[in-house]
Amino acid sequence: MIRLAILASGSGSNAEKIMEHFQGSSKAQVGLVGSNKADAFVLERAKKFGVPTFTFSRKEMDAGVLLAKLQEEKIDWVILAGFLLKIPDELIRAFSDHMVNIHPALLPKYGGKGMYGVHVHEAVKASGDTETGITIHLVNEHYDEGKIIFQAATPVTPEDTPDTIAQKVHALEHRYFPEVIESLLG
Ligand code: GAR
């Protein structure tokens, strides 16, 4: 059984879709949900699925506490689903080619530091771009620059607001992220 850990900092709607997808799977299971926010709603969602949770501070993560926990839990793949802290290099190296992130835009556009959540959708709106989308990529030491595994696009109309763009992007994420993860597992 392949063991997945999901790291998320907020609501965790993607985490929920992933837990739903692998519930009862004979191939992979979500063995841990980790968050740097003790009050993140993703922790409630994990409880609903009976998935163990783990919270940690940035300082603890940087000191290797999260890596130790992932190793203790025999995690094979780390899934970043709205996780907003920069991952320490040691952790990235430990899960080299086994860590995947979802970004709410068509990278390389709207990537890099400060580009997360609503900030991305505001930037798309301000640009006048006629499409946006999602990018699922492997994580390396350079923010949002790991190998791209999958992208999907959605139109942006002049009537769209950052909120409606977010809804369209979330719909794509929920539709594709779980199955792209499954395809990566081989
Ligand atoms: C998702 O849209 C994800 O792409 C984004 O945070 C949202 C989390 O939503 N991630 C980033 O911006 C990372 N740079 P969720 O908590 O409902 O899954």
Choice from 6, 11, 13, 14 to test ligand 1 binding pocket (greatest atom count within 8 A of CB): 14
Residue spans of the domains in the chain: they are 1-96, 102-186
Q: What is the pLDDT of residues 127-146, one digit of tens each?
A: 999 999 999 999 988 767 78
What's the whole-model pTM score?
Answer: 0.96
Confidence (pLDDT) at 143: 66
What's the gap between Cα 110 and its chain centre? 16
CA–chain centroid gap for 69, Å, is 19
- Atom of ligand 1 at shortest range from CA of 41: 16
The hierarchical CATH code for the domain 1-96 is 3.40.50.170
Would you say 78 and 7 are in contact if contact means Cβ atoms under 8 Å apart? yes
Catalytic residue positions, numbered: 103
Per residue in 23-79, pLDDT tens? 999 999 999 999 999 999 999 999 999 999 999 999 999 999 999 999 999 999 999
CB of 81 closer than 6 angstroms to any ligand 1 atom: yes
Cα maximum dimension of the chain:
50
Name the CATH superfamily housing domain 102-186: Formyl transferase, N-terminal domain (3.40.50.170)
State the closest ligand 1 atom to the C-alpha of 144, by its place in the atom list counted from 1: 14
* Topology alike, domains 1-96 and 102-186: yes
